[in-house]
Each structure stands twice: as C-alpha cells, then as structure tokens.
Structure 1
Amino acid sequence: MIKILANDGIDPIGKKMLEDAGFFVDTNNIPQDELPVKLQEYDAITVRSATKVRKALIDACPNLKLIGRGGVGVDNIDVDYAREKGIGVYNTPASSSLSVAELVFAHLFTGIRFLQDSNRKMPVEGATRFNDLKKAYAKGVELRGRTLGIVGFGRIGREVAKIAIGIGMDVIAYDLYPFNPEVDIVLGGGIAVKASVKTATLEEIITNSDFISLHTPFVGKALFGAEELDKMKKGVGLVNCSRGGLIDELALIAALDSGKVSFAALDVFDNEPTPREEILKHPKISLTPHIGAATGEAQERIGVELASLIIAHFNKVN
C-alpha cells in the first residue's frame, strides 16, 4: 500500500478520494527537523507553505516518489532537483485563484476606508474619542473609476481583473510572458460577459496605477524597492497576496511614513512566520497571516485536485 504523509493537512474529501483509491493517508504533522528520518516511512508527501522539501530532505529519503503542493507557489520545494531524482512534483494552481482574488479586494476595501486602523482603535477609543476618530477616517475614496495595475496576469491575476472590472475599475496588466487580455466574467444569475484589460509595461504599471496588486513568484530580490516606490503616484495603494519579499519592507515603511504610499495590504511577509514588528504595528498596513487560499471552497478544490493528481501519477507508474 502506498503511504502518503499529508504533513500540512488535506481536505477530508481529498483524503477520502485517496483512501478509496487504496492509499494510506497520514495527516499527523511531523516537525521539519524530524522529517529526514520519519519521512522514510512514506512514499509521498503533500505540503502547503509551512513544510519545506529541500535537496537535503530529498537526499535523505530515497524512497520518496511524489511531492504534492496544495496551492500555487512551489518556492518551498526544490522542484528541479526532485524531478532530476525521478520524483513527481505537482501543485494545484487553479483551485485557490478566486479565494486569493477575493482577499485582494477585502484588503483594498479595508485600505481605502481605513478599516485596519479603525478596527484597532474603535474598541479602545470609540467610547471616548468617537468624533475624533470619525474625523480621522473621513477621507476615504472609492474604487470605481480608479486604475488597478496587476503585476502577473496568470490565473489569480485574471480573477482579480474580473472583480475589478465588475466594480467599475480600469485595469492595466503586466506579465513577463504574452497573455490574452480578454477575460470571461460570470455575473449573478449566470450571466456571462467578456471584457478586456489593457496590457502595460511594468514601468507603466508603476507610474500610472492608483492601486497595484502583485501576483508573481519571488525571483530572489524585491520587485518594488525604494526606486520603484518613488516613481509611483502619490497616494498609491499596494497589495501583496503573492509572495513575501516582492516589496522591500523597509522601503515600504518609509514610503508609508512619507505619504507616498497611502496604504499597503500584506498577506505574505519577508520572514514568515515572524514578520518584523514595524510591519505588524504600522497603522497604514492591512494584515492577514498568509490566508489567501484559506476558504472552505478553495481547500476542497485543492484537496480534490491534489488527490486526482496523486492517483493519476501512481496509476501511470504502476
């Protein structure tokens, strides 16, 4: 029997699919430092973002035949090395796109109406400084008619564009690779419409956007540092629900303090799981703890997709 360690968990429906197909699935978490020994008892491992499967772990577990990533990014897996060793590596890029896109807009609506700061201060000062707080948060803006720049126009970027167009934003998009600017939008009642975004260079995104949302992998250095932030419109809002490190956090703090950036929204951080204190306590930053795919619907889709990929892999091998 093939034994699978779902070290960061798996949706019950996906687990049942695997068990019905004859696999043994263990959902007990094994700490990272114990994996080199204990993972040798399994044929496959599935992870999310917490567990790392690097070269040393792969070398320590010659029994390993498959690595599954429940989610989009595979930054925590040495993919090329694993495949060189004949290990199948799979992820689930389509399953969480909508959930991440909705979180982007939760952050955008939070930022334009100062909810991140209001929700901190109202419980403490609402009864004594109500009118002062009302005045402090009186200069909100609307998203309709504003320009949203999307950096990275893959599955998640496209879902973000659909929501933006639906609420009346102008969307410009950039990607390293050519892409189809047309998107299919499904409205209430099953009504489907087609719309297009405007393609742009990264420089045009930086200089022309009122808000910018990032949807690219981390490439070893910050995509937005002090130089890029300085070129942006005064009062720009930034959202990063993609990968920590895409925005230079110290440069971001300086831009927030100067007013160059009106607010930032971060679901990912440089040094997870211990983000820097200046980020966590900044009144102009909306914060979530890497929960882009953390909806029941997305987790079910991820579990089903991952289970299907694992079953297909071992059926092919056998």
Structure 2
Amino acid sequence: MYKVLIADKLSEEAVSIFKENGIEAVVKTGLGEEELIKELETCDGLVVRSATKPNKNIIEKSKRLKVIGRAGIGVDNIDLEAATNNGKVVMNTPFGNSITTAEHAITLILSTARQIPFADKTTHEGKWEKSSIKGVEVTGKTLGVIGCGNIGSIVANRALGLHFKVIVFDPFLQDERAKDMGVEKVELNDLFKRSDFITLHTPLTEKTKNIINKDSFKLMKKGIRIVNCARGGLIDEEALRENLESGHVASAALDVFVNEPPKDSPLLGTKNLIMTPHLGASTTEAQEKVALQVAEQISDYLKTGAITNAVNTFSLTAKEYNSVQPYLKLSEQLGGFAGQLTENAIKRIEIEFEGQVSQINTQPLMQTMICALLKSNFDGVNVINSILVAKNKSIQISETKHEKACEYQSCVTLTIETDKQTRSVSGTLFGGKPRIVNIKGIKIEAELAKHNLYISNEDKPGFISNLSKILSDNNINIATFNLGRKDSGGEAIALISTDNPIEEKVLDSIKKLPLVIQAKTLTFNE
C-alpha cells in the first residue's frame, strides 16, 4: 500500500481522494527537518504548500520517496536539482488559482476607480470625505491587458461584462483568438497611449522585467490607473512612486512586489496606492482546487506512472534515456533559439528528425524543444505539459521522421510559423556536442554559448567592420564569430558568442547599423 505525508495545512478533501485511490494519507504539519526525514522513511509521496521546504538533505535521505506535490504553482521551497538528481518527481498545480487571481485583479481595478480603501479608512477615523473623494466610472473606459493567457483572458472576459473596451498586448495571442474573445490586439506602446486602466498578467522574464518603466509612463494618459496581480518586477517601483506623487498616475494597486514582504519598498506610504499581501490565490475555493488537484495527480502517478504538471522530469525507461540523452541539450538549444527570436503569435510548430535520431524515442525531444520554445513567454510550461500548453494555445504541432541519413548522421529541424513569417533552425551533434547548422535555409556551423548575438543583415561590404567596432568600443570580447549567407548581396546571418553579456544600449547601437534586418541577444544555460 502506498503512503503519502501531507506536511502542510490542506483541505480534508485531499485525504479523501487518497483514500478512494487506496493510498494511506497521514497529516502532520509543522515538522522540523529531522522529524520530516523520520516520517518520510515510510512514505512514497509528500504534499506541501509553501511552509514546508524539502531541501537537499531531506530529499537525499528520503530513499522511499517517489514524488513531491506542491499544492500551488510556485516551487521555490523545493530543491528541484536535488529532487531531479535523486529521481523524485516534483509536481505543481499551475491552473488552480486562475479564477481567484483574476477576480482579485478585477476587485483592485474597481477599488482604484472609486478610492475604496481611502474612503473606508477616513470614514473609520470619523471623517466624512464625501466631497473630496471623486471616482470614475468604468463603463466605456479602455482597459489595457498586458498578457492574455489563462488569467489575463479571464480578466478580459470579466471586464467586458463591466462594459470596458478591452485592448490586449500579447505577442503570442493569435488574431482569431482575440476576435473570438471580443478584444482588440494592439502593440504595447499603443496600449500605453490608449488605456484608462492597465492590468498585468504576464510572467516575469528578461523580456517583461520593468515592462512598465519611466518611459512607459510618458506614453500614458494623465490619470491612468494600474493594477499588478502577476509578478513583482514587472513595474519599475521607483518610477511608479514618482508618477503617483506627481499625479500622472491617478491610482495603482499592487498585490506583488520586487521584494516580499516589501518592508523597504519605496512604495510604502505612497498616496493613492493600494497594497495587498499577495492575496491573488487566497480564497477558499482556490485552496480547495489545488488540494484536490495535487491529490489526484499524486494518486495517478503512484498507481499508474502517469505524470501530470511535473516541473523537473519526463517519463523514460533507463534504456530509452541512454539513447535520448545526447539529443536533449540539442533540443533545448533549438527550442530556446527559436523562442528567443520569435516575437509574434505562433501558429504552427513542425519538427523534423532525420537519420539516426529518427530511430529513437523522440517524444522527450519534442517536449524539451517545445518547452524551451514556449517557457520564456508562458507561465507553467515544463517538459511534461509543453505539448498540451501549445495545443491549448491553438498551436498546430507536426512531427516527421526520415530514417535515411541526410548530410549529417543525424539532423533535427525546428520550423516555426507565426502570423508574420516562417523561421527554421537545424542542428546536429559533433563529438556529442550540439551544433547549429542551418538558420532560415542559410548554412552555418556554430556552437551556442551562454552569451550570444544573432544578426541578420544585407550582405554588403563594411558591415562586419562596423559591427566589430561597436563591440570593441564597448569592451565586448568575441569568443566565436560564425557567418552564413544565401548568396552574394542577399541576406546574411552572423551568430557570435561573447565572453560577457551585451547591454541593451549596445544592442540598440547594433540595430541602428544601416544593413541590419534583425539583432537579438540570446542566452543559454551552460
């Protein structure tokens, strides 16, 4: 009989689900590290929320433990590397809080419109500020939604019911989906200029960090109202404070902060600012959902081996792993390469396996590739659910295999079709190491490093010397410099690895070179 330890406070319904599946569930909360290790000696599964922190020592000493389930989305309290190295599957429940978080955002939007917290506070103080507290109606106003995924789409739907006009910035939202939702898809600067209210629902990535900054505020209407229930770091907090104090921003409401709790935040005490302590997922219903989901997922895994919402692994036999392992890094690099270059909604993904690689289990390679492609733009994507996430985004996926060897013993090609273009990238293994061999039909041979610069340009004299000068003037040391072109005078590409990262201001200078078509920095784990 399987046994699971529930180490944090959880709905009693979770225990019932385990029992229905013939699994013994023991509830013991508030355990110290040694107590937890002792309890796990006889347990196959562990359920936690955020209080219990399964660290390396706990995981390594829990030999019987097979799976750790997090009732919620964040897994910062779990040592994922230790879990992976010790063969423990880690699962979360990324979609259980969507409605609750969306409703909190709507609540804060309405609160900013009517100054509810200030009105409540002053009335409790015995004051009667009726004449000085003037709000605005939301009917007919324009709500800008930054990020229209699972939560953002719910917010948009609720806002339409309040008779907002909803505009959305989300490069990965397809035009047909936007039309079906009844929203208008716009560019980010257009959203800033037109919105009366702005709400954020996007993950925190290098692309979205400080997506609202001092320059963004300059584009916004005087009297803009801003809500963030997504991630701390999406808004430049100092710039927000300055714009609140100047009155350019009429009101703002934040549920998330760069540092939590925000004890030293420049926002503390700022007028017309509502602050809540990360309450987005804090409802009875949401906590019930994540409890039921984690119990069902762990039960399925222990009984059948099915893995749902895993964040650290995929299912492979030992024999399969030996044949697949050399291609996993290549798959991750191909997906990451395409993902970091893709700026528009993806309509179709095509993956082609040629030669020896076509004869192995390619499912993990597909999942790894699609995960790397999507994870910088979507929350909750992992190698297990990446294909499902893609399909839920109405992205078509196709796979083809050719056993006959091509130019290389093995070759993997990833093709991405967006609303605006089709892009492909191919790779192979040289000496067991990944190598990019073709980009958009242009032959090139390059290894990807931690810091890379990708450029497409017109093939004309003088470009390389001008590029090299910018890099040299900014003390950027080139590690490798790889070139390819279609034909003389046509499109050319450069893939350059550097010893240190290229700052945004340097990249802007490169983009301004006369012959540049596209310039992007690409980052990969070493």
TM-score of the pair, normalised by structure 2: 0.51
Alignment of 1:266 onto 2:254: yes
Alignment of 1:96 onto 2:92: no
Gaps of 5+ in 1: 185-193
Runs of 4+ in 1 over 6 A off after TM superposition: 54-57
State the AA in 2 paired with 1:102. E
Contact 2:259 / 2:265 at 8 angstroms: preserved in 1? no
Structure 1 match to 2:224: 236
Structure 2 match to 1:205: 191
TM-score of the pair, normalised by structure 1: 0.81
Q: 1:166 to 1:45 in 2, by over 3 A?
A: same
Alignment of 1:291 onto 2:289: no
Give, in angstroms, the shift of residue 163 of structure 1. Answer: 0.3
Alignment of 1:142 onto 2:137: yes
Q: How does 1:49-68 map to 2 (within 5 A)?
A: 49=50, 64-68=65-69
The CA distance in 2 between the partners of 1:162 and 1:201, in whole Å, is 20
Alignment of 1:227 onto 2:215: yes
Please identify, of 2-11 and 89-98, the stretch whose mean Cα deviation from structure 2 is larger. 2-11
The CA distance in 2 between the partners of 1:59 and 1:225, in whole Å, is 44
State the AA in 2 paired with 1:160. V
Contact 1:101 / 1:159 at 8 angstroms: preserved in 2? yes
State the AA in 1 paired with 2:125. V
Q: 1:160 to 1:26 in 2, by over 3 A?
A: same
Q: How does 1:20-35 map to 2 (within 5 A)?
A: 20-21=20-21, 22-30=23-31, 34-35=32-33
State the AA in 1 paired with 2:16. K
Give, in angstroms, the shift of residue 179 of structure 1. Answer: 4.1
RMSD: 3.0
Alignment of 1:218 onto 2:204: yes
Contact 1:40 / 1:63 at 8 angstroms: preserved in 2? no
Q: 1:79 to 1:278 in 2, by over 3 A?
A: same
**Structure of larger gyration radius:** 2
Q: 1:61 to 1:199 in 2, by over 3 A?
A: farther
**Which structure carries more strand by proportion?**
2
SS of the aligned residue for 2:253 comes to strand
The CA distance in 1 between the partners of 2:63 and 2:173, in whole Å, is 39
Aligned residue among 143, 149, 154 for 2:149: 154
**Which structure carries more helix by proportion?**
1
Structure 1 match to 2:233: 245
Structure 2 match to 1:315: 303
The CA distance in 1 between the partners of 2:62 and 2:222, in whole Å, is 52
The CA distance in 2 between the partners of 1:227 and 1:204, in whole Å, is 13
**Identity, % of aligned positions:** 36
Aligned residue among 27, 33, 36 for 1:38: 36
Give, in angstroms, the shift of residue 173 of structure 1. Answer: 1.7
* Relative contact order higher in (CA < 8 Å, ≥ 6 apart): 1
Q: How does 1:170-185 map to 2 (within 5 A)?
A: 170-179=165-174, 182=177
The CA distance in 1 between the partners of 2:233 and 2:304, in whole Å, is 38
Give, in angstroms, the shift of residue 46 of structure 1. Answer: 3.4
Q: How many residues align?
A: 300
Q: 1:176 to 1:182 in 2, by over 3 A?
A: closer
